[in-house]
Structure 1
């Protein structure tokens, strides 16, 4: 089957946390025989910060962020067996959603793939005029990269025929143990872009522990932190490309995951960073959120913190030996249960089932 996938960016992770998810998921679907074209706009300076070149397993079409180019790429949806509009493209989101679903062929499977369901659902609750309200009942399914029962119930309450979480996962060929690098050494490393609905939690779970442990070394990577006031023992390194994520995770004593406010409220929303860190064998400390035990066992495969004091206590008590044991246990759990190969198998079943159902309906 041919898939036309309209997303933010496959080639660049610059201000684009979904890149790892797209790469892991689509590369595994390609191994299952899907012919994939990914359409991404030339926007937000991402093409100047590419992490990868167009891969063999997917054709990538980069289009100018103009009305004319938009209509050209929308028309391509008519050639696909599966049409996917992802959330958070960043330019022409509404026009893409309505456009590609309108031109999709009758037999095509129409999907909205939400990589930030809490944000999308908040918008739907707040604005009854959004195109999504009109389009949603005509879609064959909504897929999300997290959210669990609250997100499923909310989407189906808005009229979605089917909503299924396809969680973040690990691509072992991309994220794996590597030798430590001096430039990333520290006691606690944290990697995330600065976003309004994460900042207060970063202050609680990262900056507060740094202030509590002035003798320890803290490292923060990601965009937007340059002008943020931080304790003297915090070192900033800016954007970290995906090629450096393994070293970033393998070099410190531990790494930290901090969910955005909306993801923490909904729960069941492990970030890509969780699987990247576990895949590298890093000792992960995460803020507490509902559903973590579905992915990693607290105290054995991950350390869970309710607040900044918990983070500080974890760091202060952690020995290199225990950190290695936790990291290795996490790596084995993720490799056995949470790879993109497994996630792609879930999607493959959904697509084949829907394709068969459409064929039956057309013959009825």
Structure 2
């Protein structure tokens, strides 16, 4: 059994941490394939006070204090692993942690940089020739990304990465599945996502503008930060929605909306976790348009695609319950067939095996 040390934002909490379900799905599936994984996460941003889960049986979780000493102790554990993963967006001294982990990893260990927001990271590096990650990239054996397709692969290679492979979001059927509707989430359209600077303008366009155009329809927005913003009268903000409620949130409204963040929409090929979570629950999903959607769901058959807020309003104006249920069933069937974390773990395990052989027999 190979040992993996995975340094990320949080496995236990989705609070201001959209990568939580991505980490959970991947690591659970890797553990099922025989990997011995320890997830190292800092106690910052009140995440430990807002846990969705307790440490699971399929992964050890080491919570480290958000301090210089806590960082040093966490990085020391890298020396015991066969594979060392450092993710982006950890939330405490990311550059210092990345350097410390690289310094402590055994020479024969595989080193992986796992970027969960690659388009934004690449934009930062292109604008800063002295960016710390530029210096560190050649020390990693490979870059894995949350998505991004060929533009992200080319971008990372151009900046010095040895190789780059997208590992897309997927479905964990054990956590996201159809449930009975919950009156707490009754609406014609629901959207779930934290209020972030690079998302807000698109939420205005694709969600709030349709709400104003359809005053007789009910709109529901979940996620942190929206209660501090002026909203149309027919929009109800319910704050943070724990992962335990995601299935009910997805299946109760007639449809749910996916809105990509600015960088991911511009780059394409970056389906968010909520795309797979909603499809796995059998929800009728409306998404803003982005390049590559057809690789995951068929537009018009398994997902409804809108180029702007006007098209969102048009879709809601004609979408009935029967059609919404049909689209949801079709989406769930497609995702279960081709886009589960079992599929992703197979890909990752095979690639790590080939990399290990390359290191042993260069």
TM range (shorter): over 0.9
Cα deviation, 1:140-198, whole Å, max 9, x if unaligned, reads 00000110011000000011111000000000010000000111011000000000011
User: How far 1:62 sits from its partner (Å)?
Assistant: 0.4
Between 1:125-134 and 1:168-177, the stretch displaced more is 125-134
User: How far 1:130 sits from its partner (Å)?
Assistant: 2.1
Structure-2 residue corresponding to 1:327: 328
Kept in 2, the 8 Å contact 1:255–1:283? The answer is yes
- Residue aligned with 1:238, SS: coil
Kept in 2, the 8 Å contact 1:3–1:35? The answer is yes
Structure-2 residue corresponding to 1:215: 216
Please show how residues 185-196 of structure 1 align to structure 2 within 5 Å: 185-196=186-197
Please show how residues 53-202 of structure 1 align to structure 2 within 5 Å: 53-202=54-203
- Residue aligned with 1:240, SS: coil
Cα deviation, 1:269-307, whole Å, max 9, x if unaligned, reads 000000000000000000000000000000000000000
Structure-2 residue corresponding to 1:261: 262
Distance 1:309 1:140 in 2: 46
Give the alignment's TM-score, normalised by structure 2: 0.99
Distance 2:154 2:125 in 1: 14
Distance 1:245 1:26 in 2: 20
Distance 1:219 1:248 in 2: 9
Kept in 2, the 8 Å contact 1:78–1:103? The answer is yes
Cα deviation, 1:208-233, whole Å, max 9, x if unaligned, reads 00011111100000000112111110
Structure-1 residue corresponding to 2:17: 16
Root mean square deviation, CA, Å: 0.6
Give the alignment's TM-score, normalised by structure 1: 0.98
Structure 1 unaligned blocks of 5 or more: none
Between 1:99-108 and 1:14-23, the stretch displaced more is 99-108
Distance 1:173 1:320 in 2: 26
Number of aligned pairs? Answer: 361
Kept in 2, the 8 Å contact 1:193–1:224? The answer is yes
